[in-house]
């Protein structure tokens, strides 16, 4: 009896065992059984080919679950050497199997059908390899393609791969089964009557400054509605408008009540508040002094001292005019002048009204001796005298003198020898009051071989881990307050959405070039120097974003006397983790806001980065460079902008108002305990580069 059934149901393997006992195959035909295999001899009976035949089996009511392939030349004899089949054909009896019991690596490889949804195996039968496969749990093979349980037929979400029902054809999902109609604007799909019924997805980000839209291919989207009137939730702002997806109050509420005896403020929830103070005030009465606020009103102070020290005047105070002085009718007075006035401020003039006899006594009043070369003039023994001023401008090339009418005068002192303080010059001589030497600085800076050029600079998105650093070493504080966690400080992250695009463009077009010099770079203590620069003309065609280019450093980034970098960042390298910088690491930075280049200084800069090493050489790094920008310098940078360069419809006051609202002060840079600066974190990446010198 000959068996050459290529595709059968999964239980066929059991039949084969019976065939082995009762019958055999002709030696010139391999016997194959099951749902599709590839025998180790190379015969193509793959599961992919099985799909077509399996469909036939599926039509008869079942799914193909596994399969075998007998190698070429295998024959089975169920009786003795003289046994015959029903048609009297001889059947050979295989000898006792004494060959290998495991397949070789090549034989196992030959048994692979190349399908992810089947498990392939190879065993030794009758001395030859036998390939077999079976479906992995939860898998289907439909149309020659592997599917997983729940996968839907393209265009028919409720025709699915359900291995419990069929493994080679699509099955109809039961009513209530989950389905996906392929529309990203729907959700919670359920099959009902072979159709996928879904609910409409509600796109709402609860943001009045974005439009809630949905694209069937992209899903929910929230484009900005800039310029739309909104409410920023603050009772202290007016004319709130949407900008970059945020509601911003463009006009602060004016809380000035015109009362000097109240401190005017604004509560974000309540609006204007007016708190009584105890400040000095003016009660409107010129005959009181040191008026003081109390209970919200100005209370009158003491009466003023209207005594002018002149015995020939009557001192009077008027509520409107204040102190004034009337001439006395006295035999000692001539109008408002005493007949005993000796015109000496250092004597006190007395007059006896009965005899008009005069008397003069010395005093110690403050006076003016009329000389610009004295100070602290005081009366003594009837004369006015002061202490001589010291005229010294610390300049060896001037003669220090004092003119009684002009005060200190510093005239050029000729051509005497001097020291201009520059170690790079010699033969220093005074000229026109200035010490000048011959020659120029001969020091030439030397740069380390290891340099990293920043190819990526972006402000971190808020104050979250991975977007900034904990600059104040306080895990309980973070910024910006509405988008931060883990102690991360990045207050200027609130402007990332409007600053990052121009920042990236500046790096890409070569207008913003930062270079990190890695001095004595090795494991342990390291020292970094930060420069700005430009591409060396020698390699003008070099792509600075991809290639290791040659750069020239801006000479303003070095001390001209010592040729040392002005921005140095000492630190540590531990493995591939680099940490450097600190309180004395400050560097200039151009922050683009609304297309405006704001030149500021970042104080207390720190860098934390992961470096890529090849031996001791750094090939690239990726990290965060962070520090603090004083709020006052940020506002000063706006004031320094030319009016003609401002965006249409924006003045400097509006721009400063926007930044005042968006950027909170979260850092203390001068150590007075007051938070005067805004933290900033720059996500950076760098590649290898070289420095040729200065430009």
What 3 state SS string does 509-552 have? CCCCCEEEEEECCCCEEEEEEEEEEEECHHHCCCCCCCCCCEEE
% of the chain beyond a pLDDT of 90: 37
At 590-637, the pLDDT tens digits run 887 766 788 888 999 999 999 998 877 899 999 999 999 998 888 888
Instruction: Give the model's pLDDT for residue 615.
Output: 79
Contact (Cβ atoms closer than 8 angstroms) between residue 692 and residue 535: no
Quickly count helices (H) and strands (E) in the chain: 6, 43
Does the structure show a pLDDT above 50 at 75?
Answer: no
Give the C-alpha separation, 625 to 505, whole Å.
Answer: 19
At 279-312, the pLDDT tens digits run 989 999 999 988 999 999 999 999 988 877 677 8
Range in 74-83, 146-155, 285-294 with the lowest mean pLDDT: 74-83
Does the structure show a pLDDT above 60 at 29?
Answer: no
Nearest 5°: the CA angle 368, 373, 375 is: 50
The per-residue pLDDT of the chain, averaged, comes to 81
Instruction: Give the model's pLDDT for residue 99.
Output: 53
Instruction: Give the model's pLDDT for residue 562.
Output: 75
Range in 62-76, 328-342, 575-589, 611-625 with the lowest mean pLDDT: 62-76
Instruction: Give the model's pLDDT for residue 673.
Output: 85
Q: Percentages helix, strand, coil for the chain, rounded to the nearest 5?
A: 10, 40, 50
Give the C-alpha separation, 386 to 308, whole Å.
Answer: 24
- Which span out of 28-37, 301-310, 335-344, 684-693 was modeled with the highest average pLDDT? 684-693
Query: CA torsion, points 217, 221, 226, 232, in degrees to nearest 10?
Result: 170
Instruction: Give the model's pLDDT for residue 67.
Output: 53
Instruction: Give the model's pLDDT for residue 281.
Output: 92
Residue 443's contacts (CB-CB under 8 Å, 6 or more residues apart) are 424, 561, 562, 563
Paired sense of beta strands 291-294 and 358-362, if any: unpaired
CA end-to-end span of the chain: 95
Does the structure show a pLDDT above 50 at 90?
Answer: no
At 448-485, the pLDDT tens digits run 999 999 999 999 998 999 999 999 988 889 999 888 99
Return the SS3 of 631: helix
What's the whole-number mean pLDDT along residues 251-280?
Answer: 89
CA distances from 204 to 69, 189, 209, 230, 240 (A): 59, 20, 11, 16, 21
Instruction: Give the model's pLDDT for residue 41.
Output: 39
Instruction: Give the model's pLDDT for residue 433.
Output: 83
Does the structure show a pLDDT above 60 at 22?
Answer: no
User: pTM of the full predicted structure?
Assistant: 0.42
Q: Which residue has the higher pLDDT, 94 or 149?
A: 149
């Amino acid at each position: 009896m000959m068996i050459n059934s290529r595709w059968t149901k999964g239980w066929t393997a059991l039949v084969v065992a019976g065939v082995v006992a009762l019958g055999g195959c002709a030696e010139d035909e391999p016997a194959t059984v099951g749902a599709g295999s590839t025998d180790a001899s190379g015969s193509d009976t793959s599961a992919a080919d099985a799909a077509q035949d399996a469909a036939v089996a599926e039509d008869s009511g079942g799914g193909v679950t596994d399969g075998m392939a007998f190698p070429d030349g295998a024959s089975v004899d169920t009786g003795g050497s003289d046994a015959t089949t029903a048609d009297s054909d001889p059947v050979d009896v295989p000898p006792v199997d004494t060959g290998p019991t495991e397949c070789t690596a090549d034989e196992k490889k030959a048994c692979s059908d190349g399908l992810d949804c089947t498990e392939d195996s190879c065993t030794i039968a009758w001395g030859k390899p036998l390939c077999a496969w079976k479906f992995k749990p939860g898998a289907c093979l439909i149309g020659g393609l592997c599917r997983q349980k729940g996968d839907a037929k393209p265009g028919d979400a409720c025709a699915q791969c359900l291995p419990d029902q069929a493994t080679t054809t699509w099955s109809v999902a039961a009513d209530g089964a989950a389905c996906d109609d392929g529309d990203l604007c729907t959700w919670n799909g359920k099959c009902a009557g072979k159709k996928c019924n879904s609910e409409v997805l509600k796109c709402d980000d609860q943001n009045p400054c974005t439009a809630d839209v949905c694209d069937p291919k992209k899903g929910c989207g929230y484009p900005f509605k800039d310029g739309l009137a909104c409410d920023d939730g603050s009772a202290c702002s007016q004319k709130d408008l949407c900008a970059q997806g945020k509601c911003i109050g463009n006009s602060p509420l004016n809380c000035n009540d015109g009362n000097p005896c109240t401190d005017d403020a604004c509560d974000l929830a309540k609006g204007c508040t007016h708190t009584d103070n105890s400040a000095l005030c003016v009660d409107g009465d010129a005959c009181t002094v040191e008026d003081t606020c109390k209970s919200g009103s100005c209370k009158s102070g003491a009466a003023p001292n209207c005594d002018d020290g002149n015995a020939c005047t009557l001192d009077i105070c008027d509520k409107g005019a204040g102190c004034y002085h009337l001439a006395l009718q006295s035999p000692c007075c001539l109008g408002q002048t005493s007949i005993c006035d000796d015109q000496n401020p250092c004597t006190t003039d007395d007059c006896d009204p009965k005899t008009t006899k005069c008397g003069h006594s010395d005093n110690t009043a403050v006076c003016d001796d009329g000389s610009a070369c004295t100070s602290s003039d005081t009366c003594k023994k009837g004369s006015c005298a002061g202490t001589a001023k010291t005229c010294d401008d610390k300049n060896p090339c001037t003669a220090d003198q004092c003119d009684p009418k002009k005060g200190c005068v510093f005239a050029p002192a000729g051509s005497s020898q001097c020291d201009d303080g520059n170690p790079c010059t010699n033969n220093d001589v005074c000229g026109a009051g200035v010490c000048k030497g011959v020659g120029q600085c001969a020091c030439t800076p030397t740069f380390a071989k290891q340099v990293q050029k920043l190819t990526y600079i972006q402000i971190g998105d808020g104050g979250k881990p991975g977007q900034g650093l904990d600059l104040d070493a306080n895990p309980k504080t973070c910024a910006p307050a509405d988008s931060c966690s883990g102690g991360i400080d990045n207050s200027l992250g609130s402007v990332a959405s409007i600053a990052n695009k121009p920042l990236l463009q500046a790096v890409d077009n070569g207008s913003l070039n930062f270079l990190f010099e890695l001095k004595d770079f090795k494991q342990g203590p390291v020292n970094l120097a930060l420069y700005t620069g430009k591409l060396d003309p020698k390699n003008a065609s070099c792509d600075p974003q991809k290639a290791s280019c040659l750069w020239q450093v801006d000479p303003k980034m070095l001390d001209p006397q010592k040729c040392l970098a002005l921005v140095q960042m000492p630190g540590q390298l531990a493995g591939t983790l680099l940490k450097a910088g600190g309180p004395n690491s400050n560097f200039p930075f151009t922050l683009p806001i609304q297309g405006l280049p704001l030149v500021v200084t970042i104080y207390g800069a720190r860098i934390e980065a992961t470096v890529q090493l090849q031996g001791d050489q750094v090939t690239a790094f990726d990290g965060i460079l962070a520090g603090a920008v004083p709020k006052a310098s940020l506002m000063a940078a706006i004031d320094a902008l030319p009016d003609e360069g401002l965006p249409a419809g924006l003045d400097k006051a509006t721009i400063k108002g926007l930044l005042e609202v968006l950027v909170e002060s979260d850092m203390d840079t001068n150590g007075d305990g007051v938070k005067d600066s805004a933290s900033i974190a720059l996500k950076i990446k760098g590649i290898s580069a070289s420095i040729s010198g200065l430009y």
